[in-house]
Chain A
Amino acid sequence: MSISADAITVQDLVKSYRVERRREGRFGWLRSFVAPEYQHIRALDGISFTIPQGEVVGLLGPNGAGKSTTVKIVAGIMYADSGDVRVLGRDPHRQRIRNAREIGVLFGQRSQLIFELPAIDSLQFLRAVYRIPQQDFQQRLGELADVLDLVPLLNQPVRTLSQGQRTRCDVAATFLHRPKVVFLDEPTIGLDVEAKQSIRRFIAAMRDEHGVAVILTTHDLADIEELCERVILIDKGRVVYDGSLRRLVDRFAASKVVQVEAPAGAQERIEQTVQAQWPHAAVEQFGSMVRISGLADAGGATEVARVLLNLAEVGNLTITEPRVEEVIRNVFREGGLHEPPA
């Protein structure tokens, strides 16, 4: 079997939607009734990227940026207006059925399990769909049940499961046929910390043991931090960053964060002092700490530290990295990725 080294290649994807626009004004509804008006919205505006086997890539971006659309096109669910997609060397639309045997998809907000029946029934159905031999099925089910701790859940009707339990069953359903490429759309949405952890561990194991390639879209950046070395940032239908998470943080976190210990009385004064010299910096107070972020560059942080250490009441001072969440938020707040501001 020949499999190209790249699990997924995407080139110049373009997709637009037609949306009905409601007319404004007092009798707008009446005019819409008579002659509806449409508007074209470009969801994807030339997306390209490549993902090799055995890599978990985080796909990030604000709502409406085009993440889901991208995933759905690559998974073979939707067609692009133009552009080229290859999954394991195949066109996921022209060869939808063949492609479908090799991929797994999970939409965290939408279950693939039959609501009224025990999860085992849904898994049996999938066994029939993917033609998994009974023996293999039992063995894989055993493994999955073990890792995801499903044993007590499989025979309960899905409707009686908690969301975390249900999602774990959904994850099992996604990986049951040993897909080589997996799309996970918000896999940990609405779950508690423990359930999130167990799903993350499972994904990491699938990548390391079976070389599964994963595209992960999520709002929970802890998922990204734990699973992805590489992230792709999408905004307004374009790829604005594609590279290592490390580099993104470095580049955007050239501005370090200064954390300093100070008694309650001094915190106000620190804030005033910092704001006076660095009006763009963000100052947060929590407990006995003051946290100063959003500084222009690393030099800035050193400068802030110097100024603060001159103040008498200041205790422990550390210069740290910003949280990934802050980095990403910054990227999108500035409306695209440019060189860090000087």
Chain B
Amino acid sequence: MLSHLLHVYGVSITLRLKQYAQYRVDAWLQLATRLVRFALQLAFLGIAFSFVERLGDWTPWEVVLMWCTGVIGFYVHDAFFCFATQSKVLFYNGELDYALVRPLPVYVQESAREMPFESLLNLIFFGAAFSVAVMRLELYARPGVILWLIVALAASTLVWTGIATLISCITVWVGRTFAVWQSFSSLNDYVKYPLDIFPMPLQSLLTIVPFGFTTFYPVAFALRGGDYAWPGAFSLGVGLLLFGLSYLTYIFALRHYSSTGTGE
């Protein structure tokens, strides 16, 4: 079964790339725009650290590491589980009819079919920044830390996939949910900072929401250990919980899917 899924995924991605190849100008433009955006975000951190050596207790590369963990989780979700994000449109417009009459999980079919090229680009940029941070912090010699960083990336991916799927699936009941998702994803730009420099209420908010588990907590635990043991270890649990919850919602959403949104 799994090999079948991977095969379909592979075929689908090849077709997707073929599709993109038809719009060469757009592909270059996407590369350029994503690169500019990435550079500006990095420049902001650079400027902040031109005024202070540390943000709270954290060095520039540690902050980069936190930031990249959150962002990579986001783009892994967007590249490989894009049904999570896209399905709100599919649910809203009733575009799952064909997927539902094919002998594969809808989630897999649509994720493979709609894979956004730009997310792969972003993964390359942020992956590079992440690697540089690992080098600069000389973490490569510490397998325990690396292992935890991988857990952190997994947690981040699970949290993002979970949130995106949850929001998308609610579309079936409440109509458009684009605003909610856009709000969530746009806040992603603001959560790259170490949470412990924030006033307590803001810290709590970003813990509940739960961006903290995609960036700060797991990475802080990987870097500093003990002090952040509880929230750090908890982040994978939060990810799994959210993902599980979102999966149930997805099952329910398919039950309530009506292929035209309203009426016949």
Contacts and interface: CB of A to CB of B under 8 A. Distances in A.
Direct contact of A and B (CB under 8 A): yes
B262 A20 contact: yes
B1 to A, nearest CB: 10
Interface in A135-163: 157
B97 A110 contact: yes
Given A98-B103, A100-B102, A77 B11 contact: no
A316 to B, nearest CB: 46
Contacts of A77: 96-97, 100-101, 257, 259
A165 to B, nearest CB: 19
Given A19-B263, A77-B97, A79-B255, A97 B103 contact: yes
Nearest to B173: A18
Nearest to A111: B98
Given A100-B103, A130-B103, A117 B258 contact: no
B109 A105 contact: no
A114 B256 contact: no
A312 B25 CA distance: 78
A17 interface: yes
A19 B262 contact: yes
A97 B5 CA distance: 13
A66 B264 contact: yes
Contact of B263 (A17, A112, A114, A121): A17
Interface stretch (B14-22, B35-43, B211-219, B227-235): B14-22
Contact of B101 (A20, A75, A116): A75
A105 B264 contact: no
Interface string A78-101: 110000000000000100111011
B101 A105 contact: yes
Contacts of B175: 20
A104 B98 CA distance: 10
Contacts of B101: 75-77, 100, 103-105
A68 interface: yes
Contacts of B11: 124-125, 128
Contacts of A128: 7-8, 11-12
A69 interface: yes
A43 interface: yes
Nearest to B18: A117
Contacts of A17: 258, 262-263
A50 B93 CA distance: 31
Interface in A8-54: 17, 19-20, 41, 43
Given A17-B263, A112-B98, A128-B7, 19 more contacts: A63-B264, A68-B260, A72-B97, A75-B101, A77-B97, A97-B103, A100-B102, A100-B104, A105-B97, A107-B97, A110-B97, A114-B15, A114-B19, A116-B19, A121-B18, A124-B15, A128-B8, A130-B102, A130-B103
The 9 closest A-B pairs by CB, nearest first: A100-B103, A105-B101, A128-B11, A77-B100, A101-B103, A112-B98, A97-B103, A128-B8, A116-B19
22 contacts: A19-B262, A76-B100, A76-B101, A77-B96, A77-B100, A78-B259, A79-B256, A79-B257, A93-B255, A97-B105, A100-B100, A100-B104, A104-B101, A116-B19, A116-B22, A117-B19, A121-B15, A121-B18, A125-B11, A128-B12, A129-B102, A157-B22
Interface of A: 17, 19-20, 41, 43, 63-64, 66, 68-69, 72, 75-79, 93, 96-98, 100-101, 103-105, 107, 110, 112, 114, 116-117, 121, 124-125, 128-131, 157
